[in-house]
A = this chain, B = another copy of it.
Amino acid sequence: MTEKLRVAVLGAGGRMGQAAVQAVEKAEDLELVAALGRTDPLERLLETEAQVLIELTVPDSSEANVRFAVEHGIHAVVGTTGWGSAKQDSLRALLAEHPEVGVLIAPNFALGSVLASSFAAKAAKYFDSVEIIELHHPHKVDAPSGTALRTAQLIAQARKGLPAAPDSTEKALDGARGASVDGVPVHSVRLAGLYAHQEVLFGSEGEQLSLRHDSFGQASFMPGVLIGVRTVTSRPGLTFGLDGYLDLD
């Protein structure tokens, strides 16, 4: 019988953390050995002999937590934001000293969303026009969403050198044509009842391709977290973005 992988969740009191605890408990190949709040001592990771840490805390403490794990040979799957390039570089240097340890930092764990972004980047150069519509619950404070910004940037990069999308608009009300992100129009809808949704529309003469992702709640992140946990042990070094673990080529 295969032994179960020993997993600890840090930030287990938050919404994402609670969902992660449940997801690990339900997975037959994983054993939850610790569910730690943000103030619990990190030594608990050692006492419980965790092999993989799921790090879901806050930007201020995430770096220290992950470095502690790496220094003790524990792999880490990180969903906390705020990992700029300086922090990543520093972590890479640390990982060079621990060549058997793997870390995944993912700004987005929703599998469908990661796939949709990847597909959008691939399709981008084959169409005359592209626009993005993102739709979220009305409690969201920023517009467009971070995912929409990243998707637009990926698309713009893939279209470098191609002619701009045709657009004969002469008179428009302010805002009607959306926000331009690297030349890609992005429209942000805020609607009661929704959670997090995005649609990328591509058009050429006579046809349209639409890539849509709907996230209906926190639960949508868990399949991606589990893929991260199961893969990180065989991927030493730092991987940024869940797509690095997916078989997309």
Contacts and interface: CB of A to CB of B under 8 A. Distances in A.
Interface string A69-105: 0000000000000000000000000000000000000
A86 B130 CA distance: 41
Contact of A178 (B123, B187, B209): B187
A1 interface: no
A48 interface: no
A180 B219 CA distance: 29
A43 interface: no
Contacts of A174: 175, 179
A138 interface: yes
Contacts of A113: 207
A61 interface: no
A190 B122 CA distance: 21
A31 interface: no
Interface in A205-225: 205-223
Contacts of A213: 207-210
Interface stretch (A8-16, A51-59, A164-172, A229-237): A164-172
Given A112-B202, A144-B176, 8 more contacts: A119-B122, A138-B166, A176-B188, A178-B187, A192-B203, A206-B217, A208-B214, A210-B211
